[in-house]
Chain A
């Protein structure tokens, strides 16, 4: 099946001191098919949220985004700057691609009722009467399994619990039957038990609507449970793009390995295991050189090449990884392209 979201060479930069541009996302590529879940995972500052915003054309005004290819549900958008052609982007947003935000309380307007906001989301893309929109809103609230949806229509955001608010945000994202859902840390603000149910709900909706899901998260556990494929980002670049099962079975990139080893694992026995640390810290936007692998200064298996040559994506089981170590066993490829197949 053809991918419904196809991205190649996506870069996002922010203005730095004295007219320089600081790279937040560099040369990122991925594709998601209908019904598939791609998790973009990484730590703070890796560029995952900037990627999400770029897909929706929602980056702040001082950011610049470029892409060789950005195709959403068959429409090519790589040349469409959200500022110069806002109408094209507005139709994409909510229509073909929709966002589920992290913090439902700030994503909802506190002075409008839930019904008004969901109906507004319906009317933003369809010429229907308020009455019809309201009926659709009620359907959507049923769909996200809010208890007594009729009463919720009249409620204000602060009257709902965090889990219920996040369901409302999901209902709004679904208002116009998007082909691609982008969820930016959708459950980080929720308790684990609520998180599990909200993720169940998203999965269920995805199965019904065949929507592609881009799940942005820092939580490797959520990735293991929910993702079909995983893109691991480090300091603005993709380091590994794999099928989830392959990634967790045998992570190829040293960063992925280190990240997995740093997680506490329940159910240990014997003496308390020590967590693996990654020495140093993620380089800030201004400290990112163009040459070499960004992870090289912290890498446990660094090679001399790593500091000077930027590793391109090399094929590994179920995907690819951008690491010189991986290249040892395979033919070297043309460097500096991080697109996925």
Chain B
């Protein structure tokens, strides 16, 4: 992240500083998100990639205060929302919204599309009934759904249409930031293309900022302006998307990029088929770099202390062995 010179910087829509989230588990408290800092400018897309269990979804939910924070601060549109009560948070909800991975789970199956999309307007007391109806039609149109969709139920639609309903609902309050949590991951390629194009159009028309959370590096590389790579609850590398895709520096980013199907670098020669245990990470709170169990560069230093995320130029990197050129 470039060091923010001034917290009142008005074109920053989201600023997260040293955010941590702990979960209670049978094995004691687990750190799901470990001192993460990031910021997103208006109209910008930040891609957040990482494998399952790396804490990327928890981070997305923590930003909207859907899970309890352990430490850190969140500034949304210039306001510190960290300590606000749910009631005090309500007006600020209008500036940031979320699209979930599975619309079948996030949309009430007993409600029609019209009622679902209108609900945010009802909650915030926006508009009269006819005004709300007009707004719903407008929103459906924006995401490419026919006006007849208002009377239908989520289970009567295809996966792509359902996800459009999720997007329309999130857009109802005219937010400036949309958190997309694996929003296209469950969709078929051709449907995914439709939804990604809708998202691109909406961003161009409305100047939205996106936090695009996904495990799919190919999709993230397509949509993002900047990319943040997360592993074991921590950010390990951030930077402009072209730099990350072209010259990944962190060994984990390299592994992630090398594994993208269809873009394997055959010239480098295939790695020896390794033993399983290949999805191991060092749990947060144990100290050391999360990538240690899998890293070919790992040394005693990596096991003993976690490398700090050092900023340089337009990105940042957390590795004892590789330095980011300024």
Residue numbers of A with Cβ under 8 A of B are: 43-44, 144-147, 161-164, 167, 190-197, 200-201, 204, 218-225, 258-259, 262-269, 272-278, 281
A201 touches B200 (CB 8 A): no
B196, B242, B271, B277: the one within 8 Å of A269 (CB): B242
Query: A162 contacts B279, CB within 8 Å?
Result: yes
Q: Is the CB of A218 within 8 A of B188?
A: yes
Residues of chain B with a CB closer than 8 A to A278's CB? 190, 193
On whether the beta carbons of A276 and B193 are closer than 8 Å, the reply is yes
Complex contacts, A218 vs chain B, CB 8 Å: 188-189
Query: Contact between A274 and B200 (Cβ–Cβ < 8 Å)?
Result: yes
Give, as a whole number of angstroms, the nearest-CB distance from B207 to chain A. Answer: 15
* Interface contact A192-B51, CB-CB below 8 Å: yes
Nearest chain B CB to A275's CB is how many angstroms away? 4
A266's partner among B51, B158, B200, B222 (CB-CB below 8 A) is B222
User: Is the pair B193, A222 in contact by a Cβ cutoff of 8 Å?
Assistant: no
- Closest A residue to B160 using CB positions: A281
Considering the complex, which residues of chain B in the window 127-185 have a beta carbon less than 8 Å from any beta carbon of chain A? Answer: 158-160
- B contact residues, range: 35 or more
**Interchain CB contact under 8 A, A161 and B279:** yes
- With A264-B196, A275-B193 already in contact, the answer to whether A147 and B275 are too (CB < 8 A) is yes
User: In this assembly, does B297 line the interface, its C-beta being within 8 Å of a C-beta of chain A?
Assistant: no
On chain B, the residues within 8 Å of A43 by CB distance are 188-191
Asked if B300 CB lies within 8 Å of chain A CBs, one says no
The docked-state distance in angstroms from the alpha carbon of A225 to that of B52 is 23
Alpha-carbon distance A197/B270, docked complex (angstroms):
10
- CB-based contact B261/A219 at 8 Å: yes
* Residues 262-292 (chain B) with a chain A CB within 8 angstroms: 262-264, 270-271, 273-280
| Cβ contact within 8 Å between A264 and B276 | no
- Is there contact, CB below 8 Å, between B261 and A147? no
Q: When the two chains form their complex, are residues B218 and A193 in contact, meaning their CB atoms are under 8 A apart?
A: no
Decide if A161 touches B277 in the complex (CB within 8 Å).
yes
Extra inter-chain contacts (4) besides given A195-B259, A258-B190, A266-B217, CB under 8 Å? A145-B274, A190-B279, A191-B215, A200-B273
In the bound complex, what is the Cα–Cα distance between A162 and B215 (angstroms)? 15
Instruction: Give 20 CB contacts A-B under 8 Å.
Output: A43-B190, A163-B278, A163-B279, A164-B276, A164-B277, A191-B279, A192-B217, A194-B279, A197-B274, A219-B262, A220-B262, A222-B261, A223-B262, A266-B218, A268-B221, A268-B222, A272-B222, A273-B222, A274-B200, A277-B190
The answer, yes or no, to whether B112 is at the interface (CB within 8 Å) is no
Residue in chain A with minimal CB distance to B53: A191
A-contact 0/1 string along B26-54, CB 8 Å cutoff: 00000000000000000000000001100
Q: Give the nearest-CB partner of A46 in chain B.
A: B188
Q: Mark B203-217, 1 if CB is under 8 A from A, else 0.
A: 000000000000111
Give the residue name and chain of the B residue nearest to A284 (CB).
B158
Question: What separation, in Å, do the CA atoms of A195 and B193 have in the docked complex?
Answer: 23
Give chain A nearest CB distance to B225 CB in angstroms: 9
B71 at the interface (CB under 8 A from A): no
Q: How far is the CA of A264 from the CA of B241 in the complex (A)?
A: 14
> Please, which residues of chain A bring their CB within 8 A of the CB of B262?
219-225, 263
**In the docked arrangement, what's the CA distance between A144 and B273, Å?**
10
Q: Chain B residues with Cβ under 8 A from A167's Cβ? A: 276
Give the chain B neighbours of A268 by CB distance below 8 A.
221-222
Tell me the nearest residue of chain A to B161, going by C-beta: A281
Whether the pair A194, B263 counts as a contact (CB closer than 8 A) is no
B24 to chain A, nearest CB (A): 20
Chain A nearest CB from B185 CB (Å) reads 11
B219 at the interface (CB under 8 A from A): yes
- At the interface, yes or no: B324 with Cβ under 8 Å from chain A? no
**Bound Cα distance from A244 to B159, whole angstroms:** 29
A193 touches B190 (CB 8 A): no
